[in-house]
Amino acid sequence: MKNILTAVSCAAALALTSCVSMDITPKAQGNSESWYSTELELEMAANRLYTIGYWDSPYQDPETWSDNFTYRLINWHRDSGAPLNGNLDGNDYITYHIWQQDYKLIAQANLILTHSGRAKANGVNENVINRYRAEAYFARACKYAELMAYFGDVPYVDKPLTISEAEAMERMSVEELKPKVYNDFDHAIDSLPETYTGTQRFTKGAALAMKARFALYMEDWEQVVEATEECMALDLYSLNASYREIFLQGTKQIPEKIFVIPRSVANNVTVPTWFVQNGLPRNASGAYGSDTPSWDLFASYLCTDGLPIDESPLFDPNNPFDNRDPRLSETIVPFGSLHCGWYFEPDEEIATSSTGTTKTNQDCRLNQEYTSYNGLLWKKGIDDSWITETGSWNSTIESDLIIMRYADVLLMNAEAKIQLGEASQEVFDETINAVRARAYGVTAADKSLYPAVTCSSDRETNMRALRIERRMETAKESLRYLDVIRWGLYDKAFNGYNYLLPVNADLEAHIATNDRNSPDSDGWFWGGMTPQIDEDGIADFSAIEAAGYARKGAQRIFPDHQVLFPIPTYDRTLMPNLSQNDGY
């Protein structure tokens, strides 16, 4: 499907011919004139709202468009025409894909909302009808919220369209759209149940939390506070004791997860194989070790005294994982630690496994040209279950797609209150400090056991603390890109370079003369140097590069006009009334 017109006109056929069920309901077909007449037909239609393809791209790819991520020399792992390459246009896959998938799901929701009256006429219980309608309202609200975050003004479709109606569509302004989206969220909040038994579907808490996220992006701070506090007052959600455990495939329904799309082998929905292979170390047979956290992210984690690495006396560049916020070692694989069967060392030529087996280290670039260019690997969400007993990569990973969790609700509440001038130490302890204390395995009240954040009388000081906390907490959860955009930090965060290890002979000399395990070493990774960190937690590696301990990779270029994506060319060709965003 190449355009919104095709999406809306073909949605009915799609809804009838392929139903993905959260309860593994069989596929079925129906007559479009009578469909939506029974409870089963409504359920099957609603089940299509949970198709993972409608949800995964906007919650998977944006991490790769941010300063948290590096893929070898380029900034994005599937296409050179990406946001941080500065050449985004209306023909680019990423803009078209989000636009297409969002409008396809909106079309599915519109069919349910338009035709569910047939079930009422056929005697289906009104509470049942309202619940499925609420699921449709929720899905439609989420997708319009997403479209507005990326594109700004977009066409508003709330019913199935004829071809002539679709061709005449124009963009509706964000200010006109906002009340419509809030109204959809409110319909969902009113009719969705708080919990389910034995299945995972959209809930009242999910609707409240996603409404809060929409309000956050729209800078409607009162709405953020209201929605987050209603979600918190449900008393259904809490922070999981273990930060790492949240993201593992063995962790399913826990109170921290508010909105997820579950994956399962039984439903033939698993993590994409390229994602698995790119995320694992090269020593795991068949893996690539290509998707990596950036040095920018690595440097952004505070030390255990609450100070950035360029200010803390606790930071040791020879051992850069020591004395750092515990989330660092749960997000990025520490040097010398056991990870997926092998001890990870990008600076040694021999790899050792958990069984004592040794081999040439494929995670060192002296031996393998295409292994991690910056010496780092993701750990968050990855464990031994990602590899098989033979040591190769596992192609059937069932990790939940987490779209909203309770920590995000707490941080949104804190941010909105800071913006409203309502921040206090009590607010910080209930939100930011609760999130940080969990990482240290203590409660917010145990302030001698973790570096608690003190509420300042200065709004910008509080916002800087919030931004740094949010980055440490939500890395690899695809929130960083839009966070940087809405905070107005894109000029300095998204323009610059990916920094990498030296190469070939330079790398060999660097490792040979800077063995981090030697008491005489200056430190092999950054040569004993510490990058400078600015007030927003953004690192500067230029001095380390000038000293020969780093090299520049791809240049990151983010022109101002890219704060909004371009309207896809296909749609503008077929729908001549669609205007284009400035700069394209």
- CA atoms of 381 and 293, how far apart (whole Å): 13
CATH number of 4-265+563-574: 1.25.40.390
For 351, counting Cβ atoms within 10 Å of its Cβ (0-12 exposed, 13-18 middle, 19+ buried), the class is buried
Beta bridge partners of 342: 339, 353
The predicted model gives 235-240 an average pLDDT of 98
Of 416, 415, 444, 442, nearest to 430 (Cα)? 444
- Give the contacts of 305 (CB within 8 A, at least 6 positions apart): 312, 313, 314, 323, 451
Which ranges constitute the DSSP H helices of 116-173?
Answer: 117-121, 126-151, 163-167
Q: What are phi and psi of 338, to 5 degrees?
A: -80, 125
CA angle 4, 5, 10 (to 5 degrees): 100
Instruction: Judge whether 54 and 101 are in contact, CB under 8 Å.
Output: yes
List C-alpha distances in Å: 291 to 222, 278, 288, 389, 404: 38, 5, 8, 23, 23
Give pLDDT tens digits for 513-538: 666 666 555 567 888 899 999 999 99
Greater confidence, 63 or 188? 188
Of 143, 200, 154, nearest to 11 (Cα)? 143
Of 583, 571, 565, 564, nearest to 170 (Cα)? 571
Instruction: Judge whether 182 and 190 are in contact, CB under 8 Å.
Output: no
pLDDT the model gives residue 296? 97
pLDDT the model gives residue 516? 60
154 pLDDT band (50/70/90 cuts)?
very high
Please tell me the chain's helix, strand, coil percentages from 3-state DSSP, rounded to the nearest 5.
45, 10, 45
pLDDT the model gives residue 504? 67
Residue 25 in this model has a pLDDT that exceeds 60: no
End-to-end CA, the chain: 23
Instruction: Judge whether 501 and 548 are in contact, CB under 8 Å.
Output: no
- CA atoms of 68 and 494, how far apart (whole Å): 10
Of 240, 270, 238, nearest to 401 (Cα)? 270
pLDDT the model gives residue 528? 86
* Residue-wise DSSP of 162-195: -HHHHHT--PBPHHHHHHHHHHHHHHHHHHS-S-
pLDDT the model gives residue 59? 62
pLDDT the model gives residue 79? 43
**Secondary structure (3-state) at 358:** strand
Beta bridge partners of 393: 387
pLDDT the model gives residue 32? 59
DSSP state of 75: S
Beta bridge partners of 392: 285
DSSP state of 298: H
| pTM, full prediction | 0.93
DSSP state of 378: B
Give pLDDT tens digits for 332-367: 999 999 999 999 999 888 999 999 999 999 999 889
Instruction: Judge whether 186 and 196 are in contact, CB under 8 Å.
Output: no
- CA atoms of 174 and 136, how far apart (whole Å): 21
Of 62, 25, 61, nearest to 44 (Cα)? 25
Greater confidence, 524 or 81? 524
* Residue-wise DSSP of 451-508: -PPPPPS-HHHHHHHHHHHHHHHHTTSS-HHHHHHHHT-HHHHSSEEEEE---HHHHH
Supply 275's token pair.
């994602």
List the domain boundaries for the chain.
Answer: 4-265+563-574
- Give the contacts of 414 (CB within 8 A, at least 6 positions apart): 423, 427, 428, 431, 432, 466
**Mean confidence (pLDDT) of the chain:** 90
pLDDT the model gives residue 332? 98
Instruction: Judge whether 194 and 234 are in contact, CB under 8 Å.
Output: yes
Residue 482 in this model has a pLDDT that exceeds 90: yes
For 73, counting Cβ atoms within 10 Å of its Cβ (0-12 exposed, 13-18 middle, 19+ buried), the class is exposed
How are beta strands 350-352 and 342-343 bridged, if at all? Answer: unpaired
Instruction: Judge whether 377 and 339 are in contact, CB under 8 Å.
Output: yes
pLDDT the model gives residue 517? 60
Tokens 């956050």, residue located = 216
Give pLDDT tens digits for 260-276: 999 999 989 999 998 99
- CA atoms of 504 and 494, how far apart (whole Å): 28
Give pLDDT tens digits for 388-414: 988 899 999 999 999 999 999 999 999
How are beta strands 338-339 and 532-533 bridged, if at all? Answer: unpaired
Residue 240 in this model has a pLDDT that exceeds 90: yes
pLDDT the model gives residue 353? 94
564 residue type, one letter: L
Residue 170 in this model has a pLDDT that exceeds 70: yes
- CA atoms of 500 and 517, how far apart (whole Å): 21
Q: What are phi and psi of 337, to 5 degrees?
A: -95, 155
Percent of the chain with pLDDT over 70: 90
Among 26-30, 211-215, 524-528, 577-581, the least confident range: 26-30
- CA atoms of 552 and 70, how far apart (whole Å): 12
- CA atoms of 43 and 573, how far apart (whole Å): 36
Beta bridge partners of 575: none
Based on DSSP, count helices (H) and strands (E) in the chain, helices before strands: 21, 12
Q: What's the full length of the chain, in residues?
A: 584
Residue 318 in this model has a pLDDT that exceeds 90: no
pLDDT the model gives residue 519? 54
